[in-house]
Chains A and B, each alone.
Chain A
Amino acid sequence: MSEAHAHPNYIKIWFWLLILLAISVAGPMLEIPWVTVVTAFGIAAVKTFMVAAKFMHLQFEKKIIWYLLIICVTFLGVFYFGVAADIMNSSGQQWKDCIADNTCIEQRL
């Protein structure tokens, strides 16, 4: 069982999560790209932090768990940027971009 710590007001946190959900749905309706990115992904990040910190009690957790999670997210970044350098580059010779001409799936069938 978790170590003794005061439980936060979970109902209040849930209420704020619902408000953030409403904003994340309403934001993209404005059809302004930067507003869409901020409301959809920025708010997803805030909601994630709230769920992790309050519901998963990460705010009371030992540092080793924080290190574990930070390492995981860092490696995801390494994966993304490591692969992106190749995936995003379709210039040069001997290249056939099957994503752009939508033939990747057909090639596998």
Chain B
Amino acid sequence: MSLQGPIATHRMRTGIPTGRLAVWWGLASEIFIFGGLIMCFLLFKFNNAPGFEDADMTSTAAGAFNTFVLLTSSLSIVLAHAAAEKGDIQASFRYIWFTIGGGLVFLLVKTYEYSSKIYGGITLTENVFWSFYFTATGLHALHVIGGMVIMGMISFDVRKNHNLQRVELIGLYWHFVDIVWIFLFPILYIANF
């Protein structure tokens, strides 16, 4: 395996390979992006801004199904990492593409939700709740698309037995995307508290 090749795998000042440390730094910046959005949502919510009762109009079934899909894709990408560590590159390749498939299913459900809302006359400017809904879920969907593209690129390297450490790195990113959804799901779909 080409585990010792790239500098990202063996140069380390902190005891953590540089590539993985860089991903954690990237995720730290993402915490502020999504965390800031969620904090703003809560500020509006606790200030009794009108429109938040519209949370009843989102489809809990669609949101729960998408949570199931992302949790399952998180499982498959961590299994891809475990397979890569064992040197089973075929299994790793398959798990990566299973994960990409999960991302695709997620986006299809999201497209259905978006189109049903937009055709029903609900858009970004409807009220504060829908502004937040479209902004947060749209930004999250962009992250899903980005992750799928990167996974696709990595998968072909994996099949050639190159840069297997990248499976772990994209896995970290994908799990973070999953965690963001874990928080978006209750505030947008189920907890009209």
Are the chains A and B members of one assembly? yes
Q: Which residues of A contact B (CB under 8 A)?
A: 1-2, 7, 10-11, 13-14, 17-18, 21, 24-25, 28, 33, 36-37, 40-41, 44, 47-48, 51-52, 55-56, 61-62, 64-65, 68-69, 72-73, 75-76, 79-80, 83-84, 87-88, 90, 99-100, 102, 104-105, 109
* Closest Cβ–Cβ distance, residue A92 to chain B (whole Å): 15
- Give the residues in chain A near B39, CB-CB below 8 Å: 76, 79-80, 83
Dominant secondary structure of chain B at its interface with chain A:
helix
CB nearest to A88 among chain B residues: B47
Please measure, in the bound complex, the distance between the C-alpha atom of A40 and the C-alpha atom of B188, giving whole angstroms.
Answer: 11
Q: Are B191 and A68 within 8 A (Cβ)?
A: no
Please measure, in the bound complex, the distance between the C-alpha atom of A40 and the C-alpha atom of B48, giving whole angstroms.
Answer: 19
- Give the residues in chain A near B165, CB-CB below 8 Å: 1
- A1: contacting residue among B15, B32, B68, B85, CB under 8 A: B85
Q: Are A100 and B71 within 8 A (Cβ)?
A: no
Q: Are A62 and B31 within 8 A (Cβ)?
A: no
Q: Are A72 and B35 within 8 A (Cβ)?
A: yes
Please measure, in the bound complex, the distance between the C-alpha atom of A37 and the C-alpha atom of B179, giving whole angstroms.
Answer: 18
Given contacts A14-B75, A44-B182, A51-B182, is CB(A75)–CB(B32) below 8 Å?
Answer: yes
- Give the residues in chain A near B81, CB-CB below 8 Å: 2
- Give the residues in chain A near B21, CB-CB below 8 Å: 65
B78 in the interface, Cβ–Cβ < 8 Å? Answer: yes
Q: Are B78 and A72 within 8 A (Cβ)?
A: no
Q: Which residues of B contact A (CB under 8 A)?
A: 3, 9, 14-17, 20-21, 24-25, 28, 31-32, 35-36, 39, 42-44, 46-51, 60, 64, 67-68, 71-72, 74-75, 78-79, 81-82, 84-85, 125, 127-128, 131, 164-165, 168, 171-172, 175-176, 178-179, 182-183, 185-187, 190-193
Please measure, in the bound complex, the distance between the C-alpha atom of A17 and the C-alpha atom of B187, giving whole angstroms.
Answer: 18
Q: Are A10 and B75 within 8 A (Cβ)?
A: yes
- Supply 12 further A-B pairs (C-beta < 8 A) apart from A65-B21, A73-B35, A87-B47: A1-B164, A11-B75, A28-B192, A40-B191, A41-B186, A44-B185, A61-B16, A64-B15, A69-B28, A76-B39, A102-B51, A109-B125
Please measure, in the bound complex, the distance between the C-alpha atom of A11 and the C-alpha atom of B82, giving whole angstroms.
Answer: 12
